[in-house]
Amino acid sequence: MKLLIVDDMRAFLDLEKTFLRRADCQILTATTGLEAIKVAQQAHPHLILLDVEMPEMTGLEAARYLSATPGLKEIPVVILSGNDYRQAALEAGAQEFVKKPVDEGTFLQIVTRYVPLRVRKDARRPLESPGTLVVGRREIKAMVMDVSASGAFIVSDARLEIGDRLGLRFHIPRNGERREIRVEAMVVRTAPPRGFGLGFADISEGAVLLLREYVGG
């Protein structure tokens, strides 16, 4: 299963790749509408997720080309934007328009409407361990409530939004000791007033093994 994600903002590409971290798929990326067309012609993805406002060629222009081209018009296109391009997106040939930001659950629901995506359900285990968020140069206290090998749920007074990238440090018990875990994470969902779901965007193999051992998965 091949998914093409198109956005000129690295933060959004990283966020959507993090949403798909547990999915059984190949992720292709492009940063302009023109590049998206070239990748689609070469790789023939099963779904294209297009931003709108990009250099060289907008997502709307790319969608018009894709929807009018034999061999490409069969590929479903979903357009995502922080601005309301709903009518323009549908007129350009997209199957759906989605207003940013979206959380992980909503994003995966959208994708699975068009492709039979298999998403792995990682084992989770309660932890309730103090942790530290590193946001820019600030360190903010948090409580890590539960963990898996691919993410964590935390409670914190930090002001975070979906797509924010941060460092996370916390400890897990192992053989009577406390082992430190350090990861780079992204906020993939919010649970007001103080809860946040994090997806691990950058994690060492050693940390993954420790977490899998802890959760029993």
Q: Which CATH architecture has domain 2-114?
A: 3-Layer(aba) Sandwich (3.40)
For domain 125-215, give the fold: Thrombin, subunit H (2.40.10)
DSSP symbols for 48-103: EEE-SS-SSS-HHHHHHHHHHSTTTTTS-EEEEESS--HHHHHHTT-SEEEESP--
Residue found by looking up tokens 């993410």 in the block: 151
- Summarize pLDDT for 47-94 with one digit per residue, the tens: 999 999 999 999 999 999 999 999 999 999 999 999 999 999 999 999
The predicted pLDDT at position 217 comes to 56
Residue 17: both structure tokens together: 């790749």
Q: What are the residue ranges spanned by the domains of the chain?
A: 2-114, 125-215
Closest residue by Cα to residue 179 from 203, 153, 207: 207
> pTM score, two decimals?
0.90
Distance in angstroms (rounded) separating the CA atoms of residues 54 and 187: 24
Helix (H) or strand (E) holding 113: helix 104-114
